[in-house]
Amino acid sequence: MIPACPLSALPRGEALRIETDPPIAVFHTEDGELYAVDDTCTHQDASLADGWLEGCEVECPLHASRFDLRTGEVDAPPAKLPVRTHQVVVRDETIYVVPSDLPPNLPPGVRTGSA
């Protein structure tokens, strides 16, 4: 379990990037839900934490691919592959992320440090 930040440090409508390998983005929706997905868009190298958050959806800041934060599924192209999702836990007013065991869908040309 990776500590992200105090719950109070991530207001609704905001996102945070955790510098894991690969990085993870944590979103706090306007409705108060917390979601975590791989930060790198599956289409090309861009940070989803820099994207536009609307409802349970994030729009990539580079090419406007949209992902459903609940499932990671692509709601709008050009992305073709879903983004990997991670579990979020809030304990003692701190946000934690439980990283997924599944392989990530990183875009072509982007590799993890270990791979």
Phi, psi of 53 (to 5 degrees): -95, 125
Single out the residue of 12, 70, 80, 91 in contact with other proteins (rule: CB under 8 A).
80
Asked if 108 interacts with other proteins (CB under 8 A), we say yes
Where are the strands (E) in the chain, listed by range?
A: 2-6, 14-18, 24-28, 34-38, 52-54, 57-59, 66-68, 74-76, 85-91, 94-98
Asked if 73 interacts with other proteins (CB under 8 A), we say no
Could you give the string, one character per residue 52-71, with x where binding to other proteins holds by CB under 8 A and - elsewhere? x--------xxxx-------
Q: What are the residues binding other proteins (CB under 8 A)?
A: 44, 46-47, 49-52, 61-64, 77-78, 80, 108-109
